[in-house]
C-alpha cells in the first residue's frame, strides 16, 4: 500500500500565501503550484479562514418567481411522462405475455396467431 504524505503548513506560511493571492492577479491554481500546495480545497479553505472571502468565486443563481414555478411544473410533467412510459411498457409486456399464453393454449406459435389476428 502506498504511504500518504501528510504536509503541515505553519500559520505564517498560510498568511503569506493568502496575502499574495489577495494582492496578485494569480489564480488559486497558480498560487498553489508556485508554493507546492497540494489538495484542491487547501488554499480555498485558507482564504476563507485568513483572507477576504469575496475573492472566492461563487455561483449565484438569480431566478424570477415564474422561473421557479416553471421548473416545478417541468419536474411534475417529467414525472408524469416517466409514469406514462412505465405504464405503456407494462401494458406491452402484459399483451406479449397474454399472446404467448393464448398461442400456447391454441397449440400454435405467436407469429401464426398474430397472422390470424392480422397483426405484424
Whether residue 73 sits in one domain with residue 46: no
Whether residue 109 sits in one domain with residue 71: yes
Burial of 35 (0-12, 13-18, 19+ CB in 10 A): middle
Q: What mean pLDDT is predicted for residues 82-98?
A: 95
In this predicted structure, what is the pLDDT of residue 68?
Answer: 76
How many structural domains does the chain have?
2
Instruction: Kindly report the pTM of this predicted structure.
Output: 0.43
Residue 94 lies in a domain: yes
Whether residue 51 sits in one domain with residue 31: yes
Range of the domain at 21: 11-55
C-alpha to C-alpha distance for 5 and 37, rounded to whole angstroms: 12
Residue 75 lies in a domain: yes
Q: What mean pLDDT is predicted for residues 85-105?
A: 94
Amino acid at each position: 500500500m502506498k504511504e500518504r504524505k501528510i504536509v503541515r503548513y505553519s500559520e505564517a506560511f498560510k498568511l503569506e500565501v493568502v496575502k499574495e493571492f489577495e494582492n496578485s492577479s494569480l489564480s488559486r491554481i497558480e498560487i498553489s503550484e508556485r508554493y507546492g500546495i497540494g489538495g484542491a480545497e487547501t488554499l480555498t479553505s485558507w482564504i476563507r479562514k485568513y483572507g477576504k472571502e469575496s475573492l472566492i468565486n461563487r455561483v449565484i443563481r438569480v431566478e424570477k418567481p415564474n422561473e421557479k414555478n416553471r421548473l416545478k411544473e417541468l419536474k411534475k410533467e417529467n414525472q408524469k411522462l416517466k409514469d406514462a412510459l412505465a405504464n405503456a411498457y407494462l401494458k406491452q409486456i402484459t399483451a406479449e405475455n397474454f399472446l404467448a399464453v393464448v398461442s400456447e393454449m391454441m397449440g400454435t406459435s405467436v407469429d401464426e396467431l398474430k397472422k390470424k389476428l392480422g397483426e405484424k
